[in-house]
């Protein structure tokens, strides 16, 4: 999101904006934890995306002479029950796990943002109805609803993460509804309305850009939750299906051979934890960094 | 005296309005659970009948589920029967769903409440410790551990517990379960590792919340005044800090119950516990839809009731409401 163009387009506020790039740099320099998290995430994402070229072995190549081996010079993290290289599978699995997390959050945004905007902006009966539906969805234990929806739509990673996104959407909707209630009272929204802006234009050009900041923070935090949800669903066999691999599926595999080679399950669990910690730390830092701007706006 | 009576009236009114609020949510929740079946692609009757079902079987299913009726009529019928405790029967075993839930729910509730209890018992002292020594290495250590506690996949942590505490040291049984109805102490024994696996998130969240609210209170004007008046820090913490945050904490615990109940679905799979969570997963994998609906319904109704209870408890306990 480029703040300077937003402000130009709203025309409501003019201040000295050093540009998004410079502001990001200043933020990261002042917040080493956020910078570290970002570096960790970039490395993990890079390893996952470049897995087809960087991984030392084919993640699906079976070798029955080397099954369930411990770490060695050739296989850094050992081999699994079919003699496949665990390190290479971790890299390839990362692509699926991160894709899954992004998909779930994207679905949550696509459903949640319009719902929250409509509820907050329309008010009255529309708001009451949408808010009740949101409250009801929030009463469902999240993963359980996702499991049931996946069961109905059909097993598989995309369906599973679509379900998780559906379950997250009410959280986003509630956040954006609350911000919309505040923003729609602002003078610049009234001004735009007086100039004859249509409700759609009001929402997309004036309300949304000013209500989105808490959603950016929440989305970052939700990426961690979605990653854990992917692991859970794939562990249960509802997510990624063999021969595809994800971190959750690797834990499931390691679980079966836990008493023989306990090392197998450490790596995928640890990488999930590290990634989730990084997403959470980034989200918390973003919250702290964005908060003053939110106050400045309203 | 009149103010006390007034406060009581306010509280009564709040309790009644909260009870009334829960009703539409309960009805909407049943509607969502029922609508899940609409997500099944294609002809629901064919899916429910399973693979290689005869045309007669499909027709029989269509009849039994009233699938040839309009959607709302189907829902009304289902709701009416559910209200009487009839949730249909498993497509595979033929066991009434209500009976499955009665058999498995005590196990799930036991590990869920056990985990909530552990979260409070461990999280509260950690939160107080971190708050009283805010800024110290101990504080950073506790908060660092809390950020790991939020991020750890709980079923994976459960596997590590099994590996060390059950398989290596043999302190606890690895998998399996004893129903709390048969032998409560044995059930607790079997439930300990699953509850430990489930509580990481709760411990972390309670410790964090408690720390931040206590730190906020400690730096407030009235606590500084008490300090200046010569009250001991322990007394200030107890009388003015914890009393103020206890209501807040209750809300956190209520939300936590929802999360922990959700997480049982995976943790039960790790420990091979015959609970509602594992019934849902098995039913989903085998396409046994009546069981999925019934079990999800039982879960969501439980959550709604627990939320209602914690909200009511907050209303009754909150000292600020009596000032209203």
The pLDDT tens digits of the residues spanning A227-251 come to: 999 999 999 989 888 888 889 888 8
* ipTM (interface pTM): 0.85
In the stretch 146-165 of chain B, residues with CB closer than 8 A to chain A read 147-148, 150-153, 155-157, 159-160, 162-163
Contacting residues of A for B29, CB less than 8 Å apart:
136, 139-140
Task: Enter the DSSP assignment of A257.
Answer: T
- What's the pLDDT at A295? 42
Residue with tokens 């069961």: A151
A140: how many CB neighbours lie within 10 A of its CB? Answer: 24
The predicted structure's pLDDT at residue A239? 87
Buried b (16+ CB within 10 A) or exposed e, A231-247: bbbbbbbbbbeeebbbb
Half-sphere exposure of A60 (CA within 13 A, CB side): 6
Give the SS3 label for residue A79: strand
Q: How far apart are CA A155 and CA B273, in angstroms?
A: 23
**pLDDT value, residue A1:** 42
B273 has pLDDT over 50:
yes
Q: Is B261 in contact with A141 (Cβ distance < 8 A)? A: yes
Provide the 3-class DSSP secondary structure of residue A107.
helix
Rounded CA-CA distance B264/B97 in Å is 19
In a domain, A218, yes or no: yes
> pLDDT grade, residue A224 (50/70/90)?
very high
β partners of residue B89: B96
Mean pLDDT of B74-96: 85
Specify the pLDDT at position A102.
94
3-state secondary structure of B161: helix
State whether A262 and B163 contact (CB < 8 Å): yes
B130, B211 in Cβ contact below 8 A?
Answer: yes
How close B231 comes to chain A (CA, Å)?
A: 34
Note whether B40 contacts A272, CB cutoff 8 Å.
Answer: no
Using CA atoms, how far apart are residues B48 and B65, in angstroms rounded to an integer? 10
Closest-CA residue of chain B to A156: B285
Helical residues (DSSP H) of chain B, grouped into ranges? 2-35, 44-49, 55-64, 71-83, 97-132, 137-151, 154-161, 184-218, 221-229, 233-236, 243-271, 276-286, 289-317
A9: pLDDT strictly greater than 50: no
- The answer to whether position A263 is within a domain reads yes
The reported pLDDT for the residue numbered B324 is 41
User: Which of A229-243, A255-269, B236-250 bottoms out in mean pLDDT, i.e. has the lowest?
Assistant: B236-250
Q: In chain A, how many domains are there?
A: 1
Per-residue pLDDT band at A292 (split at 50, 70, 90) = low
Query: What percentage of chain B has pLDDT greater than the value 90?
Result: 24
Which of B32-36, B115-119, B160-164 is predicted most confidently?
A: B115-119
**Cα separation, A9 vs A18, whole angstroms:** 17
Would you say residue B259 has pLDDT above 80? yes
Q: Which tens digit of pLDDT belongs to each residue from A149-195?
A: 988 888 889 989 999 999 999 999 999 998 888 888 888 887 888 88
Chain A nearest CA to B299, separation (Å): 7
| CATH code, A153 | 1.10.3720.10
Q: Which residues on chain A are in Cβ contact (under 8 Å) with B285?
A: 151, 155, 237-238
pLDDT by residue (tens digit) across B289-320?
Answer: 889 999 999 999 999 999 888 888 887 777 66
Q: Is residue A16 assigned to a domain?
A: no
The number of residues in chain B equals 324
What is the distance in angstroms between the CA of the first residue and the CA of the last residue of chain A? Answer: 19
Asked if A33 has any chain B CB less than 8 Å from its own CB, the reply is no
Cross-chain Cβ contact A151/B29 below 8 Å: no
Whether A38 maps to a domain, the answer reads: yes
Cα separation, A133 vs A229, whole angstroms:
23
Residues near B235 by beta carbon (within 8 Å), at least 6 away in sequence: none
**CA distance linking residue A37 with residue A202, whole number of Å:** 36
Phi first, then psi, for residue A57 (nearest 5°) are: -135, 165
Model pLDDT, residue B319: 63
DSSP string, B200-218: HHHHHHHHHHHHHHHHHHH
Instruction: Look at the alpha carbons of B119, B120, B126, B131 in this order and tell me if their dihedral is positive or negative.
Output: positive
Q: Quote the pTM value.
A: 0.86
Question: How is residue A140 annotated by DSSP?
Answer: S
Q: How many CA atoms lie within 13 A of A116 on its CB side?
A: 30
Tokens at B246, concatenated: 């206890």
Q: Which domain holds residue A182?
A: 30-66+76-290
Residue A187 falls within a domain, yes or no?
yes
% of chain A residues with pLDDT over 70: 89
Tally of CB atoms within 10 A around A216:
14
Q: Round to whole Å and give the CA distance between B137 and B209.
A: 19
Q: What is the pLDDT of residue B321?
A: 58
Residues of A in contact with B262 (CB under 8 A): 141-144
| Residue A220 domain flag | yes
Query: Tell me, what DSSP letter sits at residue B242?
Result: I
Identify the pLDDT of residue B115. 94
B282 CB-contact burial (10 Å; exposed 0-12 / middle 13-18 / buried 19+) = middle
Assign A18 a pLDDT band (cuts: 50, 70, 90): low
In 3-state terms, what secondary structure has residue A85?
A: strand
Contact A136 B269 (CB under 8 A): no
The minimum CA-CA distance between B228 and chain A, rounded to whole Å, is 32
Nearest to B295 by CA among B71, B144, B109: B109
Q: Per-residue pLDDT tens for A111-125?
A: 999 999 999 888 889
Which pLDDT score is estimated for B58?
Answer: 80
How far is the CA of B85 from the CAs of B101, B163, B207, in angstroms?
11, 41, 40
Contact B285 A238 (CB under 8 A): yes
Cα A2 to Cα A7: distance, rounded to the nearest angstrom: 9
Domain annotation covers residue A1: no
- Beta-bridged to residue A79, according to DSSP, are A85
Could you give the residue ranges of the DSSP H alpha helices within A123-212? 124-139, 142-153, 157-183, 187-194, 199-201, 208-211
Q: How many CB atoms lie within 10 A of CB B239?
A: 12
Average pLDDT over chain A reads 82
Cβ-defined contact of A132 to B300 (cutoff 8 Å): no
pLDDT above 90 (res B12): no
Mean pLDDT computed over every residue of chain B: 84
Residue A104, pLDDT > 90, answer yes
Q: State whether B281 and A147 contact (CB < 8 Å).
A: yes
Q: d(Cα B89, Cα B290) in Å, to the nearest integer?
A: 6
Q: In whole angstroms, how far apart are CA A54 and each of A51, A269, B179?
A: 5, 22, 50
pLDDT for residue B295? 92
In a domain, A3, yes or no: no
Distances in Å between the alpha carbon of A63 and those of A83, A84, B316? Answer: 4, 6, 65
Structure tokens at A55: 């991984």
* Alpha-carbon span A90 to A239, nearest angstrom: 16
B147–A280 CB contact, under 8 Å? yes
A5 pLDDT more than 60: no
pLDDT band for A297, please (50, 70, 90 cuts): very low
Q: Which residues are within 8 A (CB) of B188 and not within 5 positions of it... i.e. 6 or more apart?
A: B110, B114, B180
**Separation of CA A155 from chain center:** 21
CB distance A140–B259 less than 8 Å? no
What span, in angstroms and rounded, lies between the C-alpha atoms of B42 and B61? 15
Provide the pLDDT for residue B320. 64
């Amino acid at each position: 999101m480029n703040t300077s163009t937003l402000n130009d387009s709203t025309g409501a506020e003019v201040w000295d904006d050093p540009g998004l790039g410079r502001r990001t740099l200043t933020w990261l320099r002042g917040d080493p934890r956020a910078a570290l998290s970002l570096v960790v995430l970039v490395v993990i994402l890079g390893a996952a995306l470049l897995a087809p070229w960087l991984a030392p072995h084919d993640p699906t190549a079976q070798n029955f002479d080397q099954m369930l081996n411990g770490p060695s010079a050739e296989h850094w993290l050992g081999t699994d029950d079919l003699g496949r290289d665990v390190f290479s599978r971790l890299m390839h699995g990362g692509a699926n796990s991160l894709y899954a997390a992004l998909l779930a959050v994207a679905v949550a945004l696509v459903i949640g943002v319009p719902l929250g905007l409509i509820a907050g902006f329309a008010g009255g009966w529309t708001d009451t109805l949408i808010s009740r539906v949101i409250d009801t969805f929030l009463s469902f234990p999240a993963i359980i609803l996702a499991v049931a929806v996946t069961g109905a739509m059909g097993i598989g990673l995309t369906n599973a993460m679509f379900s998780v996104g559906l379950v997250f959407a009410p959280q986003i909707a509630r956040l954006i509804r609350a911000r919309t209630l505040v923003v729609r009272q602002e003078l610049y929204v009234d001004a735009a309305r007086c100039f004859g802006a249509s409700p759609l234009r009001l929402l997309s050009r004036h309300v949304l850009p000013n209500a989105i900041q808490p959603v950016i923070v929440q989305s970052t935090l939700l990426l961690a939750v979605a990653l854990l949800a992917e692991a859970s669903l794939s562990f249960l066999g509802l997510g990624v299906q063999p021969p595809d691999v994800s971190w959750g599926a690797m834990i499931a595999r390691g679980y079966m051979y836990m008493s023989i080679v306990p090392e197998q399950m450490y790596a995928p669990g640890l990488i999930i934890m590290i990634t989730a910690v990084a997403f959470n730390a980034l989200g918390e830092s973003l919250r702290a960094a964005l908060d003053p701007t939110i106050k400045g706006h309203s | 005296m009149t103010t006390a009576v007034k406060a009581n009236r306010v509280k009564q009114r709040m309790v009644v309005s909260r009870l009334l609020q829960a009703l539409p949510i309960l009805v909407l929740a049943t509607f969502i659970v029922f609508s899940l079946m609409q997500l099944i692609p294609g002809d629901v009757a064919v899916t429910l009948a399973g693979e290689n079902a005869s045309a007669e079987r499909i027709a029989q299913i269509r009849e039994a589920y009233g699938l040839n009726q309009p959607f709302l009529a189907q829902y009304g019928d289902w709701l009416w029967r559910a209200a009487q405790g009839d949730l249909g029967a498993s497509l595979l075993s033929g066991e009434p769903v209500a009976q499955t839930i009665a058999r498995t729910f005590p196990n799930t509730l036991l590990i869920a409440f056990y985990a909530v209890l552990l979260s409070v018992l461990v999280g509260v002292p950690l939160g107080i410790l971190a708050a009283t020594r805010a800024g110290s290495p101990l504080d950073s250590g506790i908060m660092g551990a809390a950020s790991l506690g939020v991020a750890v996949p709980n079923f994976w942590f459960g596997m590590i517990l099994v590996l060390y505490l059950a398989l290596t040291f043999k302190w606890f049984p690895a998998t399996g379960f004893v129903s709390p109805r048969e032998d409560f102490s044995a059930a607790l024994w079997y439930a300990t590792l699953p509850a430990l696996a489930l509580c990481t998130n709760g411990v972390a969240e309670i410790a964090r919340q408690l720390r931040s609210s206590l730190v906020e209170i400690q730096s407030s004007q009235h606590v500084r005044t008490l300090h200046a008046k010569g009250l001991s820090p322990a007394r200030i913490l107890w009388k003015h800090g914890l009393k103020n945050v206890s209501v807040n904490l209750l809300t956190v615990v209520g939300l936590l119950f929802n999360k922990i109940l959700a997480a049982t679905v995976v943790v039960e799979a790790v420990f091979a516990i015959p609970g509602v969570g594992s019934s849902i997963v098995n039913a989903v994998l085998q396409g046994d839809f009546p069981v999925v609906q019934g079990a999800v319904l039982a879960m969501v109704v439980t959550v709604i009731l627990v939320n209602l209870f914690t909200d009511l408890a907050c209303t009754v306990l909150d000292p600020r409401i009596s000032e209203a």
